[in-house]
Amino acid sequence: MTKIETVRAAMVAAMKAQDKPRKNALSMLLSALKNAEIDKREPLTEDEANVVVKKEIKQTQETYDTAPADRQDIRDEAAVRLAVYKEFAPADMTADQIREVIAQVLAELNIEAPAAKDKGAIMKVLMPRVKGKADGKVVNETLASMMK
C-alpha cells in the first residue's frame, strides 16, 4: 500500500470510530500528500511521501511552539495532529547512523580531517543521502562535532 492509501484507510477507520480529531488530522495529511502528488503529476515514491509527512510534522510543531500561551485550543489541536502524523513518519536515523554516512562521504571526498572550510562541500553531498531520513539540524550538529 502507498502512503496515501494507508492514510486514507486510517481516516476511514477514524470516521467509523467517530474520532473527529484524528479524522481531521488524517484529512489534513491526506490533502498534503495528494497536493504533492498533483504538483509532481505522478505518484509519489515512498521517500517523497515521507518528506511530505516530515514537512507536515515540522509545520505543526511550529504552530504548537508559536501559539500564544492563552490559546490552549490551538496547542491541543496541534498536539493531536503531531501524534497522528508521527504514526506515519519513518524513524529518524540515529546519530551513529548519521556518523556512518558522514564517514562514507568523507572517504569519497578524500577528506581525512574535516575542517570548517570543507563543511559546504560535505553538506552538498551528504544532505541528499539523508533527506527525509534525518533532521538537517541533527546532521549539521553531528558533522560539527566531528570537525577539528
For residue 115, the model assigns a pLDDT of 74
CB neighbours of 98 closer than 8 A, spacing ≥ 6? Answer: 130, 134, 138, 139, 142
The 10s digit of each residue's pLDDT in 13-71 is 999 999 999 999 999 999 999 999 999 899 888 888 888 888 899 899 999 999 888 89
Is residue 10 scored above 90 in pLDDT? yes
Domain boundaries, the chain: 3-87, 95-146
For residue 59, the model assigns a pLDDT of 92
Identical fold for domains 3-87 and 95-146, yes or no, is no
* Lookup: cell for 53: 509527512
Structural contact between residues 28 and 81, judged by C-beta atoms closer than 8 angstroms: yes
Q: How confident is the model at residue 148 (pLDDT cuts 50, 70, 90)?
A: low
Q: Which CATH architecture has domain 95-146?
A: Orthogonal Bundle (1.10)
Please choose, from the candidates 91, 28, 82, 93, the residue with its C-alpha nearest in 3D space to the C-alpha of residue 57. Answer: 82
For residue 119, the model assigns a pLDDT of 80
pTM of the entire predicted model: 0.71
Q: How far apart are CA 65 and CA 100, in angstroms?
A: 32
The 10s digit of each residue's pLDDT in 96-122 is 888 888 888 888 887 777 777 778 888
For residue 38, the model assigns a pLDDT of 93
Q: Classify domain 3-87 by CATH number.
A: 1.10.1510.10
User: How crowded is residue 38: how many other Cβ atoms within 10 Å of its Cβ?
Assistant: 9
Contacts 24+ apart (CB under 8 A), 30-39: 30/4, 32/56, 33/3, 33/4, 33/7, 34/4, 37/4
For residue 25, the model assigns a pLDDT of 93
